[in-house]
Structure 1
Amino acid sequence: MKAAIIQEINQPVSIQEVEKPQAGAGEVVVKIKVAALNHRDVFVQQGLYPGMKLPVIIGSDGAGIVSEIGEGVSEEWLNKEVIINPSHNWGADARFYGKSFRILGMPENGTFAEYVKVAAEYLYAKPAHLSFEAAAAVPLVGLTAWRALMSRAGMKPGERVLITGIGGGAALFALQFAVAGGSEVWVTSGSDEKIEKAIALGAKGGVNYKDPNWAKNLIAATGGDRSGYFDVIIDSAGGPGFAKLIDVATAGGRICFFGGTTGNITDIIPAKVFFKQLNILGSTMGTEAEFAEMIRFVEEKQIQPILDETFTLDEAEIALRHMDNGTQFGKIVLKIG
């Protein structure tokens, strides 16, 4: 089969012919129709991910058709259209993953291939309202956004939510989940065009974080007083700008972050956190139960993932560079089967 493989750190991905995987006990082989990119794929390529193991077929997201089942797997899965939960071996404690936790696509071979082998417990029927392209866009960032917004931050209908850096896959899912969940959503971005696109998806408004007064402008836009502050803030950037999130959070608010693309968090004034009784929460991926909850919500609310651009498997390196540039609005996908 054909697959996209990372052989060495900081080298272009190579397209090679490799042996097709075989399903063992409790496993299935999925013929991948469409895979999707995540920043994780770029980080693996750059050697920035813990526990590096090369060579590896990258890719955490995929949708396809079950082509082979192993011993002990129900025959109902055979020839079924599925998506794959990439969050494996979370463990017994829902609060934090265990030592055996893995994300599909390193160290285990991932979805940037014509076939992938996974344990059957990580299969879910593809939501009927989604194309393979849309379905492939859901797993990793959908789960990340769901845990951050719903489990960790505990968003409730009617709350005011701020989502920073709109345009990436997880931020867009957080926007769609919060809007569908009945909250008032605002966004930040370095691009006015992305803010307008977010408003078209249901955001009430947004501000450009390149403006040094963005926090004051945001509060003014939302009401100009304490009623204009945010109950829930979802962030993936960290960095020096994180301190301003504390300024725009309401008393007792929850700030949940799952990334640090702009570096270490600095310049936080402790008194602003403890006098406002803020909850600052970290989040990564999610449990099997959270994945199932997220898929049910996507089906119930008929959520359509936002897609940016489609490439072929042979164009995987071009797609990775497009991801690395950070200009996308939505998920980048690879059409394979």
Structure 2
Amino acid sequence: MAGVVLVGHGGVDKLEYREDIPVPTPGPGEVLIRVAAAGINNTDINTRIGWYSKGVNSATEAGATQGFETVQDADATWSGVPMSFPRIQGGDCCGHIVGVGDGIDASRIGERVMVRNIIRTYADFRPLEGWVFGSECDGAFAQYTKAPSHETDKIECNWSDVELASIPVAYSTAEAMLHRAGVKRDEHVVITGASGGVGSAAIQLAKRRGAMVTAIAGANKLEQLRELGADRVVPRGEDLVKHLGKEVADVAIDVAAGPGFAALLDVLKKGGRYAVAGAIAGPIVELDVRTLYLKDLTFFGCTFQPDEVFTNLVSYIEKSEIRPFVGNTYPLKDIVRAQQDFLSKRIPGKLVLVIPH
């Protein structure tokens, strides 16, 4: 089969498009999926360049093309476990089941499905543990992939394969953050990186909960965020406190970190909640601990996703409570161009690879 193989940590030269990759064989409890489309995500790039290593202190974009010389292979994955190469990446998967392993009813063949990006089966369902699809196991950047049947969700809707492939990583990450932070109706939520996959998903999902949303993004993308439902928009890099005032927000949903971190804490009310699932603007921040305890803030680090997060997402789609936000599509063989466009931040919304057959 055709696919893209990651052969080591480093730059885009570590991505190799091949047409001689063996088709995977589903084991007991697994299904074989003919992949139709696969989204581009920060986690794919971060894994490729080894950004999760504690030897890296800068923002993703600093090493996104060439990689980082300071990477330590021993801790260069999100789980801290050394990565096995070659690896087929791709955390977002939409496709059709074409085969089943032992113990799985053959009636599943033909279902259109999405794969959960946090795979708990392979971690024996231990609390707060899971494998990331496309990191600890092969993912969707190929014509075929396999996954546990338990974490492969049938979906019935009128969305295209490309639109469904924009959902798993970004929307589940956003929903998990809102879930952990307990966002409620009429609360004020501030969202960073709001024009990207996770941020734009968080806008819709927060509005679905009845929250009031302030979205932060590049100045040329603000109107599109209003169309997604944002009540207020703030250009990235401008003084957030000057725009909003101090102690006005209930929750901060952050995927950026970096220089804007301190301002998020300033705009949170006493008792406010901060949820983070990324650090694209830089992982090292300055925290005045007095702000944390004098304002009785609560911090949530969000990686693990309880089962109900993805189950709820499928129901939101089938009930037309959210909609996709796709910025562009690319053939699989153009993955390098897709990742370069992703990193440029020029195109709002999700970028999706179309898989040929």
Q: What letter matches 1:183 in structure 2? A: A
Shift of 1:12: 4.3
1:183 aligns to what?
211
1:68 aligns to what?
99
**Could you tell me which of 289, 297, 315 is aligned with 1:270?**
289
**1:200 corresponds to 2:210:** no
1:19 aligns to what?
22
**1:43 corresponds to 2:46:** yes
CA distance in structure 2 between the partners assigned to 1:177 and 1:244 by the alignment: 23
Residue 93 and residue 107 in structure 1: after superposition, are their counterparts in 2 closer, same or farther (change >3 A)?
A: closer
Q: TM-score, normalised by structure 2?
A: 0.86
CA distance in structure 2 between the partners assigned to 1:33 and 1:59 by the alignment: 12
Name the SS for the 1:172 alignment partner. helix
Q: What letter matches 2:249 in structure 1? A: F
For 1:74-93, what aligned pairs fall within 5 Å after superposition? 74-89=105-120, 92=125
CA distance in structure 2 between the partners assigned to 1:138 and 1:266 by the alignment: 29
2:146 aligns to what?
117
> What per-residue deviation string (whole Å, max 9, x for no partner) do you get for residues 45-97 of structure 1?
21334222211111111111111111111222111111111211266565x22
Residue 91 and residue 238 in structure 1: after superposition, are their counterparts in 2 closer, same or farther (change >3 A)?
A: farther
**Could you tell me which of 25, 32, 37 is aligned with 2:35?**
32
Name the SS for the 1:83 alignment partner. strand
Task: Answer yes or no: is the 8 Å Cα contact 1:148–1:258 preserved in 2.
Answer: yes
Shift of 1:313: 1.0
Task: Answer yes or no: is the 8 Å Cα contact 2:200–2:228 preserved in 1.
Answer: no
2:68 aligns to what?
none
1:155 aligns to what?
183
**Which consecutive unaligned segments of at least 5 residues does structure 1 have?**
220-224
CA distance in structure 2 between the partners assigned to 1:3 and 1:154 by the alignment: 39
**Could you tell me which of 291, 296, 316 is aligned with 1:297?**
316
CA distance in structure 2 between the partners assigned to 1:237 and 1:103 by the alignment: 20
Name the SS for the 1:195 alignment partner. helix
- The answer to which of 35-44 and 169-178 deviates more is 35-44
2:90 aligns to what?
59
Shift of 1:162: 0.7
CA distance in structure 2 between the partners assigned to 1:136 and 1:164 by the alignment: 22
Name the SS for the 1:56 alignment partner. coil
Residue 217 and residue 252 in structure 1: after superposition, are their counterparts in 2 closer, same or farther (change >3 A)?
A: same
2:64 aligns to what?
none
Residue 255 and residue 41 in structure 1: after superposition, are their counterparts in 2 closer, same or farther (change >3 A)?
A: same
**Could you tell me which of 240, 257, 275 is aligned with 1:214?**
240
Q: TM-score, normalised by structure 1?
A: 0.91
Q: What letter matches 2:200 in structure 1? A: L
Shift of 1:320: 1.7
Task: Answer yes or no: is the 8 Å Cα contact 1:166–1:194 preserved in 2.
Answer: no
Percentage of matched positions with identical amino acids: 28
Shift of 1:182: 0.9
Q: What letter matches 1:143 in structure 2? A: S
CA distance in structure 1 between the partners assigned to 2:243 and 2:35 by the alignment: 46
CA distance in structure 2 between the partners assigned to 1:332 and 1:131 by the alignment: 14
**Which consecutive unaligned segments of at least 5 residues does structure 2 have?**
52-75
1:329 aligns to what?
348
Shift of 1:264: 3.7
Residue 279 and residue 91 in structure 1: after superposition, are their counterparts in 2 closer, same or farther (change >3 A)?
A: farther
2:255 aligns to what?
236
CA distance in structure 1 between the partners assigned to 2:204 and 2:105 by the alignment: 34
> What per-residue deviation string (whole Å, max 9, x for no partner) do you get for residues 199-223 of structure 1?
1111111112322x3322223xxxx
Shift of 1:289: 2.7
1:286 aligns to what?
305
Q: What letter matches 1:287 in structure 2? A: P
CA distance in structure 2 between the partners assigned to 1:113 and 1:177 by the alignment: 30
Q: What letter matches 1:46 in structure 2? A: I
**1:310 corresponds to 2:352:** no
Q: What letter matches 1:210 in structure 2? A: G
CA distance in structure 2 between the partners assigned to 1:91 and 1:252 by the alignment: 36
Shift of 1:125: 1.2
**Could you tell me which of 163, 182, 193 is aligned with 1:165?**
193
CA distance in structure 2 between the partners assigned to 1:171 and 1:127 by the alignment: 25
What do you get for the CA RMSD once the two structures are aligned? 1.8
**Could you tell me which of 121, 124, 132 is aligned with 2:161?**
132
- Give the number of aligned pairs: 323
Residue 297 and residue 63 in structure 1: after superposition, are their counterparts in 2 closer, same or farther (change >3 A)?
A: same
Task: Answer yes or no: is the 8 Å Cα contact 1:126–1:135 preserved in 2.
Answer: no
Name the SS for the 2:281 alignment partner. coil
Name the SS for the 2:163 alignment partner. helix
CA distance in structure 2 between the partners assigned to 1:294 and 1:255 by the alignment: 22
Name the SS for the 1:246 alignment partner. helix
